[in-house]
Each structure stands twice: as C-alpha cells, then as structure tokens.
Amino acid sequence: HAKQSGRSRFSYFTESMSEKAEQRLALEHALRRALQENGLHIVYQPKVRWPEGEVIGAEALVRWTREDGRVIPPDHFIELAEEAGLITQVDEWVMREVCQQIAAWRRDGGRTVPVSVNVSLARLDNERLLEHTRNALQDAGIPAECVEIEFTESQMFTHKEQAVELMNQLKELGIGLAVDDFGTGYSNLTYLAQYDFDTIKIDRTFVCGLHDNERQYAIVQAIIAMARAMGFRMIAEGVETPEEAAMLQEHGCRDMQGYLFSKPVTAVECLTLIRNGLPDRHETAGLRTAHGPH
C-alpha cells in the first residue's frame, strides 16, 4: 500500500468528492423545483393537554414528495436547504400555507387552536421574516395569535443580538414564540432571560426513556422547575409511552406532543382531533383512568 502513488489516491478522492457535489446539486435542483411545482406539503401534529386529552395546538411539519413518490422527511433536506440558501423560501411557503389552513378551519366554524411553524435562523433576515409573516396573516385574514413560531435553541444563540431583536418584533406583532429542542443547544442560561418567548419545548432526548433513567429524570425535573420559576409555558415533545406522560404530568408538565397521542397527520385528520379530542385508544384511555383528575 505504501507504494500506491499519492496521485491515484488523490484522484480517487476528488472523484468521489465531485460525485457527492453532483448529488447535492441534483438534490438542490429538485428541491428548487419542488418549491415551484407544489412538491412540498404539510402534516400537523396535535399538542395535547394531559390527562384531559384536549388538543390545545398543533405543529406544522414540512414534507417533500419526490417525483418517484418517495416522501423525504425534513431531517434529510432542511440542512441542505439552509446551505443552499433555499430555507427562507421553504419556511415562507410553510408560513403562508399554514395561515391559509387556519383561515379555512375558521371558515368551517367551531374550535380552532394555535398552530406552530418551525422557522430556521440560519439565514436570518429580520425585516424579510417580519414582512412576510405580516403579509401571510393579513392575506389569510387571521389574527397573529393563531400562529406560533418555534426557533431551535442552538440557532437562537448563534446570532444572538439579531435573534433577540427578531423575537421582540414578533412578540409585538402578537405571535407566540417557543424555544424548540430545549436543553440540546448548550445554551448559556443567563441569556435565556433576555429572550422574549413564551414556551419551552423540552427536547425528545430528555423525554425518551424518562422513567428508566434517573439522571434524565432529574434533568427533566430541573427544566420543569426552571421553566415554572421563569414563568414560561412548557411542552414536552416526543412522548411515546404512558409512563413518560404520567411522570411529566406528576411534575406539572401537562402539555405534550408525541406518538403516544398522535403522529403528524393531514390537515383534515388534525381538524377532527381538534374538534373531537383524542380517540379513546386503549393505552391512553387506561392512563387517563389511572392518573386522571379525581
């Protein structure tokens, strides 16, 4: 192997690198086309107040359907969109679509709930985001309170000054703000007080297996205590088992989101859950009787 020439190894690497670059470019091109040709759609995951089972909100999550019918989850293209400078267009499309969906639900009559939208801070442009959000609300004819924005904790701290300003501006508009994936962003806790947001979303990694792991349990307790002391609302994401839900509830975190209650569903299915509450599925029904209000 020592005799293998540097040159051939070099050409091997450049070849595979350019192959990768080509794949990326093709993917980027396809995403651009999806944006223009209705290739994206949105699914909605209900947020639930436990143990009542009442749907108190929903989160909009983007999906991309390729031409061959494969559905690509956001974890496989959001980063690409950020790097390619397409994320602003994706997020703007989602915001506009969600506002229109909320307006349609309201026209339908009956109960509606705030819907949250994930917004990337990777290509932060305060003016553009504000302008677009204002227009999306206005064109749909809905009040700002119908929409909530989720920023991931890690991105909030990369452009701190600008993010603080943006959050103040969005609050002024009347939009609810949440810190997503809380606890995973290596945040400086003293900074938290400087951001004007309403809700902390406890990250799934802390929730998963909560009942089996004492340290994880301690972390969740600490986050809940801190959120309460600072006057934030809180919601736990990724709740998959009745045991996790029961523990969160015991410690005063009653707003939850996760496969235990519902996977992300279509707008039509989500509206049914908003109007009728959760179906009394076996496992959740049992939990409600066991731990429900007396």
Site residues, ligand C2E (CB under 6 A): 45, 61-62, 73-75, 78, 87, 90-91, 94, 118-120, 150, 152, 180-181, 204, 237-240, 257-259, 264
- Judged by beta carbon, residue 45 or residue 249, the one nearer ligand C2E is 45
| Count of residues interacting with Mg ion (CB under 5 A) | 6
Choose the contact partner of 240 out of Mg ion, ligand C2E, none; CB within 5 to 8 A by kind.
Answer: ligand C2E
Residue 199 makes contact with Mg ion by CB under 5 A: no
Which residues 237-256 are close enough to bind Mg ion by CB under 5 A?
237
Strand partners, 256: 48, 236
Between residues 105 and 150, which has the closer beta carbon with respect to Mg ion?
Answer: 150
Of residues 2 through 61, those in contact with Mg ion by CB under 5 A are none
Q: Among residues 61 and 103, whose Cβ is nearest to ligand C2E?
A: 61
Do the Cβ atoms of 59 and 74 come closer than 8 Å? no
155 lies in the binding site for Mg ion (CB under 5 A)? no
R_g of the chain computed on alpha carbons: 21
Give the one residue of 118, 155, 241, 257 binding Mg ion; rule: CB under 5 A: 118
259 binds, among ligand C2E, Mg ion, none (CB under 5 to 8 A by kind): ligand C2E
Burial class (CB in 10 A: 0-12, 13-18, 19+), 265: middle
Structure tokens at 171: 């609050």
Pairing of strands 199-202, 176-182: parallel
Select the residue interacting with Mg ion from 180, 206, 227, 235 (CB under 5 A): 180
Closest separation in Å from C-beta 7 to ligand C2E: 42
Looking at the Cβ atoms of 54 and 240, the one nearer to ligand C2E is 240
- 53/291 Cα distance (integer angstroms): 12
Q: Which CB, 59 or 288, lies closer to Mg ion?
A: 59
Which residues lie near Mg ion (CB under 5 A)?
A: 118, 150, 180-181, 204, 237
